[in-house]
Structure 1
């Protein structure tokens, strides 16, 4: 996780090749107590990441030297846990899920209200402060059904010790389930950062479906997450820590 315990305001970088949009977002954020940076392409963003401690990136999907999806994949592959809000003109549920699968923490579709972006930023930074660092996790594994979840490396471990990698969105989702096994969790509970619209956001259903596909790769894993019609989802098993 970003080290938000450091003194001073969180550092936010806005990446958009449209200078007008970039400056508009930066102008809105200047009203808050944040340290702000801006970039118009991926090259400048990569350079800033090498030189700065950045806590959160507001990232446009389409950039002149690449796309935000590839950058998300690249950052997560190297172990970076910087918070990422993807901003794009694309608005389908598949696009949202793809962004979340590849490592984005949240997703906004243009045009959007600047205040909504501010709320998303506050929620993500608050969550980053409240989540324990992997180094501070007292236990290593959470066992559920035939699987173990490696809480430090953020990946699934099959009964034969085969490793299954998880996206940031999948890890948050399964972690939320194992925190309350055998309890029905609503979309609002699973997506607290989008509580106001989560009941109508079907991207959560696609995220659950993809997680189910990974869990079903071993016998006994296909019925771990059940749908409770009209209410939400439940992890139907006990969880043990070691």
Structure 2
């Protein structure tokens, strides 16, 4: 679903049923010279995606013909990796974590500052481009502690070859730890695209807790990610690329 036009502009699809909010988002993002498409519902999104290549989707959670969470889960189940930023009035930590686990790449709560959305779109597109370039030269497996991580299929491999699937949020978080093992990473460093708000967002702690639970299924895995009080978290083990 990679988009863009002949000038190299990125294509952003805004899916929002409130016309005023939809127009506001489109107007703001147009300032960054993106190619903007818009839809009021899931049916409109499907029509556009069937005919157009899209680089990023700004997706409202509550739509008149369906739930943005279910749509995001469907996209990931079909191996469609187009970045998704959820924009919603639901603001609890559980809602944010659920959205990220079902495949959203970022989460913004209404009401929001338009400039913050612009920054997140910009950062997410930049990060996606960097990941795509790195994937071309990246080895497939990473060994840490008793686990191996399959970087292509986003799953953990136990010593007995048993498989543990990771959510999108868990994979992104673990990948960040693997990039800089044995170094304390602050919440801002773990989620750089949300640097402005993540220091006050405790959902990152819940994400780390859930990742620890999966790693703890194997002896020696429970203590791989350590908490450093007032500083952040650290993956306390060597990392070997295979």
TM over 0.5: yes
1:32 corresponds in structure 2 to: 32
The DSSP-based 3-state class of the residue aligned with 1:196 is helix
Q: Which runs of 5+ in 1 are unaligned?
A: none
Give 1:158-177 correspondences, 5 Å limit.
158-177=158-177
Distance 1:135 1:193, change over 3 A: closer
Q: Does 1:153 align with 2:153?
A: yes
Q: Which runs of 5+ in 2 are unaligned?
A: none
Q: Following TM superposition, by how much is the alpha carbon of 1:26 offset from its aligned partner in structure 2, in angstroms? A: 1.0
Per-residue CA deviation, residues 133-188 of structure 1 (Å, 9 max, x unaligned), is 57513311000111111111222112222222222221111011111111111111
Bigger mean CA offset, 159-168 vs 83-92: 159-168
2:48 corresponds in structure 1 to: 48
1:188 corresponds in structure 2 to: 188
Give 1:1-242 correspondences, 5 Å limit.
2=2, 8-133=8-133, 136-242=136-242
Structure-1-length-normalised TM-score: 0.94
The answer to whether the Cα contact below 8 Å between 2:4 and 2:11 also exists between their aligned partners in 1 is no
Report the count of equivalent residues. 242
The answer to whether the Cα contact below 8 Å between 2:55 and 2:83 also exists between their aligned partners in 1 is yes
Separation in structure 2 between the aligned mates of residue 135 and residue 142 of structure 1, nearest angstrom: 13
Structure-2-length-normalised TM-score: 0.94
- Over the residues paired in the alignment, what is the CA RMSD in angstroms? 1.8
Bigger mean CA offset, 126-135 vs 232-241: 126-135
Separation in structure 2 between the aligned mates of residue 146 and residue 4 of structure 1, nearest angstrom: 42
The DSSP-based 3-state class of the residue aligned with 1:149 is strand
Q: Following TM superposition, by how much is the alpha carbon of 1:72 offset from its aligned partner in structure 2, in angstroms? A: 1.0
Per-residue CA deviation, residues 57-92 of structure 1 (Å, 9 max, x unaligned), is 110000111111111111111111111110000111
The answer to whether the Cα contact below 8 Å between 1:103 and 1:168 also exists between their aligned partners in 2 is yes
Runs of 4+ aligned residues of structure 1 deviating over 4 Å after TM superposition are 1-7
Q: Following TM superposition, by how much is the alpha carbon of 1:235 offset from its aligned partner in structure 2, in angstroms? A: 0.7
Separation in structure 2 between the aligned mates of residue 39 and residue 3 of structure 1, nearest angstrom: 16
Separation in structure 2 between the aligned mates of residue 236 and residue 5 of structure 1, nearest angstrom: 44
The answer to whether the Cα contact below 8 Å between 1:187 and 1:199 also exists between their aligned partners in 2 is yes
